[in-house]
Amino acid sequence: MTSHGHGDGGEKLAPITFLPGVVPPVESEPALQQREAPRRAASLPDGTRRPVAFTEDYWAEDDASGDTSAAFAGDVLSGDDVSGEPQVPDRESIAASAADGLTRDLGRRGLSVAEANARLRADGLTDAEAAGVVQGFVERGWLDDAVLAEQLVYAATTRKDMGTRAVRQLLVKRLVSREVIDAVIAELPDDDAERALEFARVKARALTRYDDATATRRLMGMLARRGFGGSAAGQAARAALAEARGSSGASGVRFR
């Protein structure tokens, strides 16, 4: 393949001649356009070559071509209900759900009337709605402050050795009505001194290594936390410590 000169000083390649029987390769359209692009660009007169740029008008035309994706998204997010009317909550359903929750709570532990009312109010019921549900539970015998108070007093006095003052504080904490508290406390036997001594005897065994003043002070603190106070706690502490020292034969130096 030879080159031939042109009058403008450039060179031009000689045309390619294929041998007989050889089929020339067929160029794809993109490759042909790419090969021909320099020739077309060279044939343009000077001053007409400029880079392609997208103007604001170009993008404006695209925006006006009917892109409805944003509007469609807004319709989807707005939901099917386009009436604009607010949904009115079903108060009967809310009250029924709160009553079911209260029933489950009563299956786990006893509740006072005030505790049940507070539970229903926390679930979104109004004062009137909560009062109606509580009244229904009271009529069925599912809520009874007197029964609850008896159960609490029995557990406090027999299993926890709590004094009268501590029992009253427990009932107040559980929101039992004041009338029921006064009635239950009045029925308690006047055996604080006996129950205080029983509790002190159990604790005194671990206090014999202290001197009398320290052991008595610590034991009276334990009794006070159990609801025993005043002279009953002092007498029980001294008597229990004396019994513990006598039975253990503790004597000599005692550490504070």
Which pLDDT score, from 0 to 100, does residue 38 have?
52
Distance (Å, rounded) from C-alpha 40 to C-alpha 151? Answer: 104
Distance (Å, rounded) from C-alpha 8 to C-alpha 29? Answer: 31
Whether the pTM exceeds 0.95: the reply is: no
Count other Cβ atoms within 10 Å, centred on residue 200: 28
What are the structural domain ranges in the chain?
91-140, 145-189, 191-256
Give per-residue pLDDT as tens, 208-217. 888 888 888 8
Of the two residues 172 and 163, the one the predictor is more confident about is 172
The amino acid present at 201, given as its one-letter code, is: R
CB 195 within 8 A of CB 235: no
Segment 91-118 mean pLDDT = 94
Which pLDDT score, from 0 to 100, does residue 20 have?
61
Distance (Å, rounded) from C-alpha 240 to C-alpha 218? Answer: 12
